[in-house]
Structure 1
């Protein structure tokens, strides 16, 4: 009688304690030598037997059906099958005579009704072991998820603490993650350009390779960084500390939705592109190069427009003048900031009851989540509805908890834009002197001014404006708008926010 040797080692964690393939082969060869068995082929497989469809196992049974061998040598019946389909195939092959003998160093078998009955029990025990182990693993996983423990490797910026076995912030890499979110929130990057910038910082991806654009996308859209995590399509509250503020994360998400694939205008060559709109037609001012010099002109996307081009040097002078017009003295800035401090104190008093209402809402949402889970367990709602409702409530709960935790910061944060504007206005006389055109652009973006170009350019070699339209008031220009015109004229103004 001819025999096949079959050795299998699963790659699954639950079967790591089984003998290695080489150890199985050594034992089976010794058994064949001891009993004088003729081994014609050895089959080796590294795959779990929990599910049918193992290619090497199927190849072996096909060879036996052709009569190439009549018996199988294996370490234990569970090496042959841990599922009912493959176990049934072995028993059926014994019934039909395709397989005449099975030999195991750790299990007695003879081809009799009693032997096949015991073999079926062994296959059943193997399947029970796998099923029970899988259920234990799932139960432990569900417990971890309910406790807010992320069951996988944490994303960049976090690490597993070997002593506490908790996920903690990896400060060395967290710095880069924060900078990535802050950089993308400025609107000056695409996924690809940010990936290149991040690599320039020295923050590398897997195996120390340059950061890929897809990895940047994964990081920017991962709620893990605000204390949540997704697993199997559901969102959970994590025990790990958030790495970035929620408002920064939400600003980035809004930017992603607004810009589709994250396409932003690149300003390095033309720093003022996208910053100014045309007063004639409302289109954005675009740029190009003529005679080796950068020029800015109306994009004319809505049809013909009478606005002519202006050289970058002349536009730079207008922007410097615009900054100087909002300059205030140190004394005036100090008075304004003192008044803002009084507003903040009044706001804190007025908002004192808000936190209590938020705590009440938080308890109500927690109770709804408990009822939702019980309804799902009782089978009253489908998984799809459960997942959608759970995600909605979890996000609401997380937002409320974050709002309560950062209440003090939020009260002052409501006035941050105003404080930034006052501070920038105090610094304006110095900032207007900078030779860095990107800084000029960023100053206007920081104070939130809307620049409207309302100047007619006459043909001249210098490209400087020689005549201009007068400033347009009323509904044409709102608070915070800057209407750019000839230098030194009334055609440029910058309106400060009304303190009322």
Structure 2
């Protein structure tokens, strides 16, 4: 940043009286100093300028150029205005380079020597406005001493700042600027001492909270969420240098993944309990992480050719994703087609031909009709799975007690780990690794424990929701708009394979992989006919096994596991997408 202040140079009108020319170099270390007091240059730069002007008058010199690095550390030699000053003195005849103090120029000896050598080669004398530094032996000695002191001060200050930031994070404080939705504020205690805290932003906190809750439903992509937030008026907080603006996609993605919003502070990879007020509950935050992961896994992207089947349909020959293309006829008519991405990119030897999209749409609708479960089978499935719930519920209390004991042990372990870290016995990298392990396990255990007494009722209610959807899936699918059809496809099926334009087969997702399984349906009808619902061990039920019921956790069957698979987020026409708490 360069500034010319002709009105501040009383010696400029004496150009004819002297040929002694000088340049002035000014610097502050931080952006905050550069704008302190609401001024463009803060307070420090004008003070340095005035001192340098006084020194120029004492030297009977005029300042012909001023160089200002605002918010640049002296530990870096590649400051833009410093580099421009060195180029300037090489091209112009200048007698003096005036600085407020030596530490304005450099805070390490190697940079100081390099800069001083560049000045000497250009025939420029370095002058300090506040220190007695010149080219005499004593002046050079003082210069060396002051440069060494500046380097020590800089390095020691960096160490002290680092220690202070670490301690602040350990005690739950926020280092730096709080994320959107919060404000850094200063309050005074009863003794009049200033204290910096973080508070929810009254203009933005509610919108940030809504963004998490909305995205947790699975109804929004980050793009559509961004559009909705723009419509609702969410912008960044303005600063003296930057006006407020709408959030970008990357900012929204970082916001949704930031654990700060559930009450945690992360510093150098370690996680601490924050002192600030959480904007969202841990449950909502973890649901958001699950949705983020699911959307990344499904590979959904905003592309020029959009269609509600994209991300759900795959090639029936090679298994590659189907992508949308459009062909134009001789008459200018445009026709949409699905083509195999593997064949299109020549990654596979697939010979699947392009498929007219309306034909694929009708084939998918017909597949929903084929898998829709009749009422008698729904009744039999309900009786079979309810009997299994009853059996598992009998053991769930003991299981939750074991979870509680393990959680308490982990909380004690985490406390002892932090105490050992404070005492210097545990390094930061080991603290981070152990904290991650403990936090993941505690999150899983608490999700199981919090299910509590309502576990069975919730599981039964979710089972009823799933069975209702399975019973009417074709009617639902054909009665909703395209955006909801996309959600339905993602909820019912992991993948829909299209072999020909009119041949579709699906890979149902949990829990519909159980309900749509013909073997499970046959077993349910047989048990109902025999009246034998007392024997409900899963290994005796054809097509129904522990993994079907409990999923990826790998635990013994429990109502906790069952509920997680029947726990659906609300949709405009019912619950659709499954959410489970993954086991570490």
Q: Indicate whether 1:41 and 2:64 are aligned.
A: yes
Counterpart among 224, 227, 248 of residue 287 in structure 2: 248
Q: Indicate whether 1:133 and 2:157 are aligned.
A: yes
Q: Distance in 2 between matches of 1:56 and 1:287?
A: 53
Q: Indicate whether 1:176 and 2:218 are aligned.
A: no
Given the superposition, is the C-alpha separation of residues 158 and 26 from structure 1 closer, same or farther in structure 2, using an over 3 Å criterion?
A: closer
Counterpart among 155, 165, 174 of residue 197 in structure 2: 165
Q: In 2, are the aligned partners of 1:72 and 1:102 still within 8 Å (CA)?
A: yes
Given the superposition, is the C-alpha separation of residues 443 and 337 from structure 1 closer, same or farther in structure 2, using an over 3 Å criterion?
A: farther
Partner of 2:8: none
Partner of 1:4: 22
Cα deviation for residue 45 of structure 1 reads 2.3
Q: Distance in 1 between matches of 2:499 and 2:114?
A: 85
Partner of 1:402: 443
Given the superposition, is the C-alpha separation of residues 88 and 422 from structure 1 closer, same or farther in structure 2, using an over 3 Å criterion?
A: same
Q: In 1, are the aligned partners of 2:320 and 2:340 still within 8 Å (CA)?
A: yes
Structure 2 matches for 1:199-218, cutoff 5 A?
Answer: 199=230, 203=234, 209=245, 211-218=247-254
Counterpart among 97, 122, 138 of residue 146 in structure 2: 122
Cα deviation for residue 226 of structure 1 reads 4.9
Q: Distance in 1 between matches of 2:323 and 2:523?
A: 24
Given the superposition, is the C-alpha separation of residues 200 and 96 from structure 1 closer, same or farther in structure 2, using an over 3 Å criterion?
A: closer
Q: In 1, are the aligned partners of 2:312 and 2:494 still within 8 Å (CA)?
A: no
Q: In 1, are the aligned partners of 2:102 and 2:147 still within 8 Å (CA)?
A: yes
TM-align CA RMSD: 5.8
Partner of 1:422: 464
Instruction: Pick which of 316-325 and 345-354 moved more.
Output: 316-325
Q: In 1, are the aligned partners of 2:102 and 2:128 still within 8 Å (CA)?
A: no
Structure 2 matches for 1:77-476, cutoff 5 A?
Answer: 77-88=102-113, 98=123, 102=127, 104=129, 106-109=130-133, 111-160=135-184, 165-166=197-198, 168=200, 170-183=205-218, 189=221, 192=223, 195-196=226-227, 199=230, 203=234, 209=245, 211-228=247-264, 230-232=266-268, 234-239=269-274, 240=276, 241=278, 243-245=281-283, 247-252=286-291, 254-255=293-294, 258-259=297-298, 262-263=300-301, 269-270=307-308, 274=312, 316=365, 319=368, 323=372, 325-326=374-375, 344=393, 346-364=395-413, 366-367=415-416, 374=424, 387=429, 389-403=430-444, 405-411=446-452, 419-425=461-467, 435-436=479-480, 446=491
Cα deviation for residue 375 of structure 1 reads 5.4
Count of residue pairs the alignment pairs up: 456
Deviations 1:208-247 (A, max 9, x none): 6554333343334444455555544x24234153545264
Cα deviation for residue 176 of structure 1 reads 0.9
Provide the secondary structure at the position in 2 that maps to 1:479.
helix
Q: Distance in 2 between matches of 1:352 and 1:443?
A: 37
Q: Distance in 1 between matches of 2:107 and 2:303?
A: 58
Partner of 1:471: none
Q: Distance in 2 between matches of 1:283 and 1:70?
A: 72
Given the superposition, is the C-alpha separation of residues 94 and 427 from structure 1 closer, same or farther in structure 2, using an over 3 Å criterion?
A: closer
Q: Distance in 2 between matches of 1:294 and 1:228?
A: 48
Q: In 2, are the aligned partners of 1:326 and 1:428 still within 8 Å (CA)?
A: no
Q: In 1, are the aligned partners of 2:168 and 2:174 still within 8 Å (CA)?
A: yes
Partner of 2:542: none
Q: Distance in 1 between matches of 2:67 and 2:138?
A: 29
Q: List runs of 5+ in structure 1 lacking aligned partners.
A: 378-385, 458-464, 466-476, 484-492
Provide the secondary structure at the position in 1 that maps to 2:514.
coil
Cα deviation for residue 64 of structure 1 reads 6.4
Instruction: Pick which of 138-147 and 347-356 moved more.
Output: 347-356
Q: In 1, are the aligned partners of 2:96 and 2:125 still within 8 Å (CA)?
A: yes
Q: List runs of 5+ in structure 2 lacking aligned partners.
A: 1-18, 37-41, 188-195, 238-242, 328-332, 344-349, 504-511, 528-532, 537-584
Q: In 2, are the aligned partners of 1:320 and 1:440 still within 8 Å (CA)?
A: no
TM-score normalised by length of structure 1:
0.65
Deviations 1:440-494 (A, max 9, x none): 775676577998999998xxxxxxx9xxxxxxxxxxx9732178xxxxxxxxx89
Q: Distance in 1 between matches of 2:290 and 2:493?
A: 16
Given the superposition, is the C-alpha separation of residues 66 and 451 from structure 1 closer, same or farther in structure 2, using an over 3 Å criterion?
A: closer
Q: Distance in 2 between matches of 1:97 and 1:266?
A: 59
